[in-house]
Each structure stands twice: as C-alpha cells, then as structure tokens.
Amino acid sequence: MVKKEIIPHLKSSCLALGLTRVNDAQPFAVLGSGFFIDEEGFFVTADHVAQGMVETREAFRIKGIDLEYRGFWFENIDDEHGQLVSIKTEHGRSIQTDIPELKEFFPENQDLYIGRLSGTNKYPYLNFSKSTKIQVFDEIFMCGYPRGKRSLRTNDQSSGDRFSPILQYGRIGSLLPTDHSQNPYGIQTDIIGTGGSSGSPIVDADTEQVLGIAQNVIPASTNVSINEKNASAKIGLVWGISNYFVTDGITKMLKVLKNEFNDNGRPLSDLPERVSFEDEFFPKKLL
C-alpha cells in the first residue's frame, strides 16, 4: 500500500550533485543524485558520481575554467514559495565494504560515497538502517535528478525548467544473487533510469525506509538530441546495492566524517554557503 503522505519528505531529502563556476551559483554540470542521511547535511551517493565531479573539474581546469563542487537542494518543496538552493560541498570519502563470502559475486568497489554540504543548516533526511526482509514485487520509490543538468536548467523552448527531484515508482523485479537470498546484496528494479539517476535512494513505498542506492542500469543506448547536438545516452532498468551490506560501513564512515568536519570544515570560496535562485532563475508565478 503506497503512502502518498511520505512523498514531500522523500523529495525534500534528495539533492542533485554537480559543479558551478567558482563564486557562481548557477549549475554548470550535474553528475547525479544523492540523499541526506543526517540533519547536518551528510549525504550518500554513488562513488562514480563523486568521481565524475572530480574528473569534470580537472578537465575544465586544464581548459582554464575553475569549478567547485556543489549540491543543489530544493528547499520547502511542499510550498509554492520553495526555492532551489546551491550549497558548497567539498568534504567526503569513498567507502569500501569488504564482504569475503561474496567475492565471487560482488564487485570489489561497492561504488559508495558520503559527503557533506557546507554550513550549519538543518536538513530533512531518510532513515538508513538495516531493513526488514526485502522481497520480489515489493513496491518501491526512487527519487532523484535523471537527466542531470537538464533537470535544473534548459536553454531551448521544447521543455521548461524542473527544480524539484522526480519521483519514480515501481517494484523489485529480482534480488542478487538470487530471489531467495536472506540477505540480498543487490536490488534489481523495474524502474527506468538514465544519466543523473545514480545515487538516488530506493525506498519502501509504504515506510520510506531506504532499501538501497541506485548505481547502474541494464544498459541500452539511445540517441538523443540536445540543442541540435546528437549524443548517445545509456538508459535501462535500475540496479541498486542493498542496504543489508552497506549500512554498517556508512554508519562508521559517518562518525569519522563528523569528527573530521568539526575540525576542518571551512568556507571554500567567497560565495555564501547557501544561494537561493530567485528572480533570474526561479520561474515567475503564472497569472
């Protein structure tokens, strides 16, 4: 039974992750999605999202363009006066979870990353703990920013801007390594994902509890046209890692990062920690 009342909180607990030019708030690139696991602004995403941010920053640094890491969060999502907010993020770590008994099936790199937004703001967050039994055909939500930067800003007339994260609904199609695993390490959904979906939470549609983290898709390629430029994009059914095998590692890493940030957390540029997009970015109320 899907509980619609959980939707505003679920959306408010998610963010887009990318980069801006130094001392600029506008999204320059969005590489994926993430979700808060703590009111202080600690978030979880896929490690390849974080690494994509690093690689993008370095690629543009070589071209003479300086970028900084950013989280884009929609504040007051259940209010017509809600605002997209750009917040710096620099502090984080990749996570390695050792599962010797599953080495035959499980990738060595579990593709997990924890980061933190700058500042001392309070954020809504999702319950991240070992779940009750996960079963095939359970109803699930996934929430994030598929399509990356195009979710936040468009430059053509074919579609409008969308600032709030998109909610996708579906069911668990299979578990990894088998449907009858007591502690499945992976969740195969029937939800279609695309670029930007990585790092989205996969949650129980009834309780909002996080069941896993979207990491990859069963790949299929399609040609897309963006501003008259053709490109190939990967789309497919979303696969996610189960929280059975990452909860302990994330909980321990969260404690380490909290201690580190309390010692070293500092503003990283002259841009305020939070920037709300208002007149020039947020759409005017239609008359």
Q: How far apart are CA 251 and CA 114, in angstroms?
A: 10
Look at residue 94 in the predicted model and tell me its pLDDT: 79
Q: How far apart are CA 32 and CA 243, in angstroms?
A: 19
> Please, what sign has the CA dihedral across residues 98, 126, 13, 173?
positive
- What is the average per-residue pLDDT within 38-47? 93
- What is the average per-residue pLDDT within 205-229? 72
Query: Which residue ranges make up each domain of the chain?
Result: 4-276
**Best-predicted range by mean pLDDT (56-65, 182-191, 217-226, 231-240):** 56-65
User: 254 in helix, strand or coil?
Assistant: helix
Determine contact, residues 89/118, Cβ cutoff 8 Å. yes
Q: How far is CA 246 from CA 36, 96, 155, in A?
A: 15, 9, 39
Angle (nearest 5°) at CA 285 between 281 and 287? 140
pTM of the model: 0.87
The total of other beta-carbon atoms located within 10 Å of residue 279's CB is: 6
DSSP string across 10-42: HHHTEEEEEEEETT--S-SEEEEEEEESSTTSE
CATH class of the structural domain 4-276: mainly beta
Q: How far apart are CA 183 and CA 102, in angstroms?
A: 11
Q: How far is CA 48 from CA 94, 220, 252, in A?
A: 9, 19, 21
- Taking only the tens place, the pLDDT of each residue in 114-157 is 999 988 889 999 987 776 678 999 999 999 998 766 677 545 54
- Taking only the tens place, the pLDDT of each residue in 59-85 is 999 999 999 999 999 888 777 767 888
